[in-house]
A and B are shown apart, each in its own frame.
Chain A
Amino acid sequence: MKTSTNRSKSVAKKVMLSSIFAGMFFANTAMADTLRVIADADLKTIDPIVTTSGTTLVHAYLIYDKLFEFDKDGVARPQLADKVDISADTKSYTITLRKGLKFSDGGPITTDDVIQSLKRWASRDQTGQLLAARLKNITKVDDLTFRIELNEPFDVPAALAGVTGNPAFIMPKRVASLPPTDQLTDTTGSGPYQFDYSSWKPGQTRIYTKNPNYVPRNDPPSFFAGKKEATFDTIEMAYVPDANTAMAAMVTGQQDIWTSPPMDNALALKNNPDVVVAKGYFSQGLYVINHVVPPFDNVKAREALTYLIDQNEINRAAVGDQEFWHTCYAYLTCEGKFGDESAYAGHRGAADFDKAKELLKEAGYDGKPIVILDPTDWPEAHVRSLYMAQQLRKAGAQVDLQAMDWSTLTSRRTSKAPASEGGWNLFPNIMEGGPASSPLTHLMLASNCEKAWFGWPCDKKIEDLRAAFISAVDQNEKKKIASELQARASVYLPFVMTGEYTGAVVYRADIEGFNPETAETYFWNVRRKSK
């Protein structure tokens, strides 16, 4: 009886206090027609051609559309394009736009806009540059049709549907006429939402409103392709730098979607019935290796690294919950359509220190410290740095583990100096699943020596196979070449893999239609269940 009375008093007290505060400060329930999203970072640059920043791409996907988009099977489907006619030799593509398309300012979308947008894109994007290198001519047929003629076969729709890097967004001609290094300020777009520039508060919020002139496709949505419906009148994206505050905002319903929570915070919300903790987009974990300085200029030393990595062990330490990672030995990822684990010829499974020691000796390792760049502001990568330092030491190597922030690492990695003179030997990194799944876009697989990504791997066989893949249009032929490429990579070792893992995404339980497993998060077709 006493307990019951106390409980009643406690409840009454809570209700009374709640009423007082609720009365003083009215409730914060999000408005039904506004989707509130905690962005992964503050938006710094609004031009998706100037930067490859993921935050800018999320912004750009809301306000721009593309000629083609990938569906869930990885097939490039027409988006702003209505149809594409391909010549028998796959060297000529005649693309027709859908009728009645308009930009957010009401102006018509014509082939003049499209051609100028593609020119700006091709001058910056890596895939665009591959296309530009094969381009013979790009000509306007009429306001709705244009033709791309090539010197050699190339899969143009797949290139134009690319999701990461600098995607081929369609902008008005006047905007796309800017030099590719100058940032645009006119945000007139071709996508389902428009950017409310005047209400943009850098460091806090940015607001997108429904584009009244956007004409969605009628075919069902599939991944990035198909119908893109602006279901919310407004999308408000907030930058909440503190993870605990963001978590509280999700719990209280002040925010609807949290796109990149730290894993610890996400897992803490797993049992909360008001939110859904889902797997985000997958990434390939890897170590970038410097191929131009000893000891990893020798393939035996690179092979030694594979004997030091136990993918189960490293992912348990770096990621934790097994729902969010798995082992993978396919250079083009296990989830991508070209991935082939059977092609991998290297070491798998538990670490073998004796073998690693033997390989390091064969490589002529002289005992000088191996410099590992350790990005301490990126928790998972930091753990991977510590792991590799420990494994190398167990194999008898000297290690110089250099702690720094990621921003500093991005400058340091440009150095080709010997490790003892300010250079480096290896650092942990990831490659997003989308670009990592294709030889066309896997930057760290490209082994074109001086022109390659940092680490500068140099292997003619890999480059020949990449060129063959780029020119191939038939899917079966592409798969065959991709398998050969992965087999070669497992021998040459442009980088070493640590498995695949996904981040977490948190959203309120009343949100539906949201696909968290995409390379760049998009918010069209997302609904509130009560609507």
Chain B
Amino acid sequence: MIRYLITRMLSIIPVMGVVTAVVFGLTYLSPGDAAVVLAGDYASPAQIAAIRERLHLDAPILSQYFHWLENVLRGDLGNSIFSEQPVLSLILSRVEPTIILAISATLVSVMIAVPLGLLAARKRGGIADQLVSFFGIAGTAIPAFLIGYLLIFTFGVYFGSMPISGFPGLDSGAWEVLRHVLLPATMLGFAQTALITRITRASAIEVLNQDFIRVARAKGLDELTIIMRHCLRLIAVPLVTIVGMSFAYMLGGVVITETVFAIPGVGRLLVDAIQHKDVPLIQGVLLISSSVYVLINLLVDLSYLFIDPRIKYT
């Protein structure tokens, strides 16, 4: 087990090496010039050249890459070209809304999706199943921003009782955070709910058709006990996988939700950095997002040991 853990941890290093090289190469190849954007629209060519020189943007790409990599290995992600603040502190300042949004959306989606998926599996072919399947397709097909606008115009404009933009921060109290997060979490959770519902339904149908379930029914066990004690345990592995992956994806920033509700999360930070060609910031966000994704993937793998005792890592 420990050997497996060490091997998995070590395997992250080459993965991150490739990630840094690809990220650096892509940002270098993408058109645009941070010095031009920073100088402003009316700057003269001489002013732009001076900024480019000050920021070392005129150095050869390999020199820039190795200089950046050396600093990363020392724990220094560099400074943003625009705000001149450390990249790490900029990212940390955006993590709070992203984490809260990801947790809230995951909670919303799991609480709705698992019961719906189980209900559809139990009533396979019936009206409930068809409705749930329709919901699953609709959730995947309807663009997330449309759901966001519907929520805004219903609860923000028509009822006029919900904040529709911004994120107040935990220091303003749980109630304020809840008010601001409810609509975006619902928007974000909607698509995830559809996905998890479909996975739950498919997995549960497979389990409910197995012999031991028939035996349990023959022995007179009630449906609730069969589902809660036998079915749920067996579908937990695919469920944890899909929930874990979607959670990791959300931690990397959910641009559309953050844009629609003006939430200053990691996703918007990345998009703004790309629009402004803020290379150190782009690299920092992508590096940390990739690391988090790889780490959560590892945690999901490890969680199988506790969910299903038959799984062993050697």
Q: Is B45 an interface residue (CB 8 A)?
A: yes
Mask: chain A, 239-277; 1 = CB below 8 Å from B; 0 = not: 111101110110110100000000000000000000000
Contact of A238 among B40, B43, B83, B166 (CB under 8 A): B166
**Structural contact, A248 and B276, CB atoms closer than 8 A:** no
The minimal Cβ–Cβ distance linking B158 to chain A, given in whole angstroms, is: 8
Contact of B31 among A50, A254, A408 (CB under 8 A): A408
Contact of B161 among A24, A240, A411, A435 (CB under 8 A): A24
Given contacts A45-B83, A244-B149, contact A204 B264 (CB under 8 A): yes
Q: Is A404 an interface residue (CB 8 A)?
A: yes
**Structural contact, B268 and A241, CB atoms closer than 8 A:** yes
Given contacts A203-B268, A240-B262, A252-B156, contact A126 B44 (CB under 8 A): yes
Q: Is A317 an interface residue (CB 8 A)?
A: no
Within 5-52 of A, Cβ neighbours of B (below 8 Å) are at: 17-18, 21-22, 24-28, 42, 44-45, 50-52
Q: Is B212 an interface residue (CB 8 A)?
A: no
Contact of B45 among A181, A252, A414 (CB under 8 A): A414
**Structural contact, A202 and B93, CB atoms closer than 8 A:** yes
Within 8-49 of B, Cβ neighbours of A (below 8 Å) are at: 31-33, 36-48
Mask: chain B, 86-97; 1 = CB below 8 Å from A; 0 = not: 000010011000
The minimal Cβ–Cβ distance linking B252 to chain A, given in whole angstroms, is: 16
**Structural contact, B159 and A22, CB atoms closer than 8 A:** yes
- Measured between beta carbons, the chain B residues less than 8 angstroms from A165 are 42
- Measured between beta carbons, the chain A residues less than 8 angstroms from B155 are 21
Q: How far is the CA of A244 from the CA of B260 in the complex (A)?
A: 8
The minimal Cβ–Cβ distance linking B265 to chain A, given in whole angstroms, is: 8
Q: Is A209 an interface residue (CB 8 A)?
A: no
For B48, give the chain A residue with the smallest CB separation.
A414
Size class of the B contact interface (CB-based, 8 Å): 35 or more
Contact of A164 among B42, B90, B261 (CB under 8 A): B42
For B80, give the chain A residue with the smallest CB separation.
A44
Q: Is A94 an interface residue (CB 8 A)?
A: no
**Structural contact, A53 and B40, CB atoms closer than 8 A:** yes
Pick the most buried of B46, B90, B161, B272: most chain A CB atoms within 10 A of its CB: B161
Q: Is A324 an interface residue (CB 8 A)?
A: no
Mask: chain A, 427-456; 1 = CB below 8 Å from B; 0 = not: 000000001000000010000000101100
Mask: chain A, 318-362; 1 = CB below 8 Å from B; 0 = not: 000000000000000000000000000000000000000000000
**Structural contact, B264 and A245, CB atoms closer than 8 A:** no
Contact of B83 among A44, A204, A411, A454 (CB under 8 A): A44
Mask: chain B, 240-277; 1 = CB below 8 Å from A; 0 = not: 00000000000000000001111110001100100111
Q: How far is the CA of A51 from the CA of B44 in the complex (A)?
A: 11
Mask: chain A, 390-425; 1 = CB below 8 Å from B; 0 = not: 000000000000001101101110100000000000
Q: Is B68 an interface residue (CB 8 A)?
A: no
- Measured between beta carbons, the chain B residues less than 8 angstroms from A44 are 82-83, 272, 276
Q: Is B118 an interface residue (CB 8 A)?
A: no
Q: Is B152 an interface residue (CB 8 A)?
A: yes
Q: How far is the CA of A410 from the CA of B52 in the complex (A)?
A: 14
The minimal Cβ–Cβ distance linking A114 to chain B, given in whole angstroms, is: 24
- Measured between beta carbons, the chain B residues less than 8 angstroms from A246 are 165
Q: Is A183 an interface residue (CB 8 A)?
A: yes
Q: How far is the CA of A262 from the CA of B233 in the complex (A)?
A: 52
Contact of A204 among B37, B164, B262 (CB under 8 A): B262
**Structural contact, B165 and A245, CB atoms closer than 8 A:** yes
- Measured between beta carbons, the chain A residues less than 8 angstroms from B44 are 126, 451, 453
Given contacts A17-B159, A411-B32, contact A51 B40 (CB under 8 A): yes
**Structural contact, B161 and A25, CB atoms closer than 8 A:** yes
Q: How far is the CA of A268 from the CA of B160 in the complex (A)?
A: 19
Contact of B264 among A25, A202, A454 (CB under 8 A): A202
The minimal Cβ–Cβ distance linking A322 to chain B, given in whole angstroms, is: 27
Given contacts A42-B272, A238-B165, contact A411 B31 (CB under 8 A): yes
- Measured between beta carbons, the chain B residues less than 8 angstroms from A28 are 160-163
Given contacts A53-B40, A410-B33, contact A18 B159 (CB under 8 A): yes
Q: Is B153 an interface residue (CB 8 A)?
A: yes
The minimal Cβ–Cβ distance linking A271 to chain B, given in whole angstroms, is: 15
Q: Is B54 an interface residue (CB 8 A)?
A: yes
Q: How far is the CA of A410 from the CA of B40 in the complex (A)?
A: 9
Q: Is B305 an interface residue (CB 8 A)?
A: no
For B37, give the chain A residue with the smallest CB separation.
A407
- Measured between beta carbons, the chain B residues less than 8 angstroms from A411 are 31-33, 36
Mask: chain A, 190-213; 1 = CB below 8 Å from B; 0 = not: 000000000001111100000000
Q: Is B5 an interface residue (CB 8 A)?
A: no
**Structural contact, A51 and B159, CB atoms closer than 8 A:** no
Pick the most buried of B41, B263, B268, B277: most chain A CB atoms within 10 A of its CB: B41
Pick the most buried of B90, B152, B261: most chain A CB atoms within 10 A of its CB: B152
Q: Is B293 an interface residue (CB 8 A)?
A: no
Q: Is B167 an interface residue (CB 8 A)?
A: yes
Q: Is A124 an interface residue (CB 8 A)?
A: yes
Q: How far is the CA of A451 from the CA of B43 in the complex (A)?
A: 11
Q: How far is the CA of A27 from the CA of B40 in the complex (A)?
A: 40
**Structural contact, B93 and A405, CB atoms closer than 8 A:** no
- Measured between beta carbons, the chain B residues less than 8 angstroms from A238 are 165-166, 262
Contact of A245 among B51, B152, B179 (CB under 8 A): B152
Q: Is B211 an interface residue (CB 8 A)?
A: no
Q: How far is the CA of A44 from the CA of B273 in the complex (A)?
A: 10
For B85, give the chain A residue with the smallest CB separation.
A202
For B163, give the chain A residue with the smallest CB separation.
A28
The minimal Cβ–Cβ distance linking A434 to chain B, given in whole angstroms, is: 11
**Structural contact, B42 and A435, CB atoms closer than 8 A:** yes
- Measured between beta carbons, the chain A residues less than 8 angstroms from B46 are 451
Q: Is B157 an interface residue (CB 8 A)?
A: yes
**Structural contact, B269 and A203, CB atoms closer than 8 A:** yes
- Measured between beta carbons, the chain B residues less than 8 angstroms from A451 are 44, 46
For A21, give the chain B residue with the smallest CB separation.
B161
For A50, give the chain B residue with the smallest CB separation.
B38
**Structural contact, A244 and B94, CB atoms closer than 8 A:** no
Given contacts A204-B167, A242-B262, contact A18 B32 (CB under 8 A): no
- Measured between beta carbons, the chain A residues less than 8 angstroms from B222 are none
The minimal Cβ–Cβ distance linking A415 to chain B, given in whole angstroms, is: 11
Contact of A52 among B43, B83, B166 (CB under 8 A): B43
**Structural contact, A249 and B161, CB atoms closer than 8 A:** no
**Structural contact, A248 and B42, CB atoms closer than 8 A:** no
Given contacts A165-B42, A407-B32, A414-B36, contact A254 B165 (CB under 8 A): yes
The minimal Cβ–Cβ distance linking B12 to chain A, given in whole angstroms, is: 29
For B41, give the chain A residue with the smallest CB separation.
A52
The minimal Cβ–Cβ distance linking B29 to chain A, given in whole angstroms, is: 12
The 5 nearest A-B residue pairs measured at CB: A52-B40, A203-B264, A21-B161, A204-B264, A411-B33
Known A44-B83, A410-B36; 15 more pairs at CB < 8 Å: A50-B38, A181-B54, A202-B93, A240-B262, A241-B262, A242-B262, A245-B152, A248-B156, A252-B160, A254-B165, A407-B275, A407-B277, A410-B33, A411-B31, A451-B44
Q: List 17 A-B contacts (CB under 8 A).
A: A21-B159, A22-B159, A25-B161, A27-B160, A53-B40, A202-B83, A203-B264, A240-B262, A241-B262, A252-B164, A407-B36, A407-B277, A411-B36, A414-B45, A443-B42, A453-B44, A454-B45
